Amino acid sequence: MDNFVTFCRNVFVPVTNVCRNNCGYCTFRRDPEDSQAKLMKREEITPILEQGKKAGCTEVLFTFGEYAEEVPQYKEWLTEIGYSNTIDYICELCKIAIDIGLLPHTNAGVLNYTEMEELKPLNASMGLMLETTANLAAHEGSPGKVPSTRIKTIRYAGDLQIPFTTGLLIGIGENLDDRINSLLSIADLHEEYGHIQEVIIQNFTPKPDTLMADMPSPTEEEMMQTILIAREILPDDIAIQVAPNLIDPYLLIQCGANDLGGVSPTTIDWINPEKEWPSVSGLKEMVREMTLKERLPIYPQYIKKGWYSDTLKNLIDSLADEDGYRK
């Protein structure tokens, strides 16, 4: 086990919360007629990026509802701001972020090969939670949560040599065998392509006014067991990430977790808005005797391999030390 734990300082930008999926645990998604539905405009996003840069962030996490174009009113919103599809808009936002000095990490749900190919030169890394290989009631009415569809997107990332983040959502109705099968699927993909830089083991947290509001969170013992199994199944070069705003990470670090993910000094966790990010000093307290080391959204091994475009080279060179961590 490493004698240090990593994290990344980021800006979290929820570009749209319109989504074709309808998961039983989600409070992020909104229908267009909802007063809280939105498509953020460039003039809203740019100051958030500039503030994040001033606060020392290196990453911008762009999160989207999946294939919102399937919702007619969203298409109208997109046309109004001058775009015919979401991918073109993401690419524009990534360029703005790079000019400001932030490395983009896009998590836009399932994507096809061509879409990922367009995004690759403008992203230091990308992500998609596998969540589980099981077919669950929690994902009824959510075409993007079909496990084979998500695996296909992760495979595309490998073929394109995109440093990639994926993970499991624990406690949404899956059982232990499902968790093991999910981890084995991720390990197999990494063995074939070598592109999985981190696997998030995230605990489900029930939220009011959702179909799963009364479902319990996984126990600490379940989380520890999953981390231990993950460390046994996953290759050593894959980091295991846990969310420090959702669970006390210390015991999980003892079980093999070694990353605390993206933590923002300037923006909230839009997926779990009720859970505040800890400060960097708070993270140091959480990991106790372990050393806390800051990384970029692209892990050191992929910087050394050169898995990034010429567009990002100068920015990565300016942010990374000789070992590939944050200067």
Residue 145: the pLDDT is: 95
Residue 270: the pLDDT is: 87
Per-residue burial over 213-234, b = 16 or more CB atoms within 10 Å of its CB, e = otherwise: eebeebeeeebbbbbebbbebb
Residue 2: the pLDDT is: 65
Q: What are the structural domains, with CATH classification, of the chain?
A: 4-319 (3.20.20.70)
With 0.85 as the threshold, say if the pTM is over it: yes
Residue 192: the pLDDT is: 98
The residue assigned the tokens 């074709």 is: 20
- Tokens at residue 135, please? 């077919």
Alpha-carbon Rg for the chain in angstroms: 18
Q: What is the 3-state secondary structure (H, E, C) of the chain?
A: CCCEEEEEEEEEEEEECCCCCCCCCCCCCCCCCCCCCCECCHHHHHHHHHHHHHCCCCEEEEEECCCHHHCHHHHHHHHHCCCCCHHHHHHHHHHHHHHHCCEEEEECCCCCHHHHHHHHHHCCEEECCCECCCCCHHHCCCHHHCHHHHHHHHHHHHHCCCCEEEEEEECCCCCHHHHHHHHHHHHHHHHHHCCEEEEEEEECCCCCCCCCCCCCCCCHHHHHHHHHHHHHHCCCCCEEECCCCCCCCHHHHHCCCCEEEEECCCCCCCCCCCCCCCCHHHHHHHHCCCEEEECCCCCHHHHHHCCCCHHHHHHHHHHECCCCCEC
CB distance 164 to 199 below 8 Å: no
Residue 219: the pLDDT is: 96
Q: Render each residue's pLDDT in the chain as its tens digit; 327 residues.
A: 568 999 999 999 999 999 999 999 998 899 888 888 999 999 999 999 999 999 999 999 999 999 999 988 999 999 999 999 999 999 999 999 999 999 999 999 999 999 999 999 999 999 999 999 999 999 999 999 999 999 999 999 999 999 999 999 999 999 999 999 999 999 999 999 999 999 999 999 999 989 999 999 999 999 999 999 999 999 999 999 999 999 999 999 999 999 999 999 999 888 888 889 999 999 999 999 999 999 999 999 999 999 999 999 999 999 999 999 999
AA letter at 14: P
AA letter at 154: I
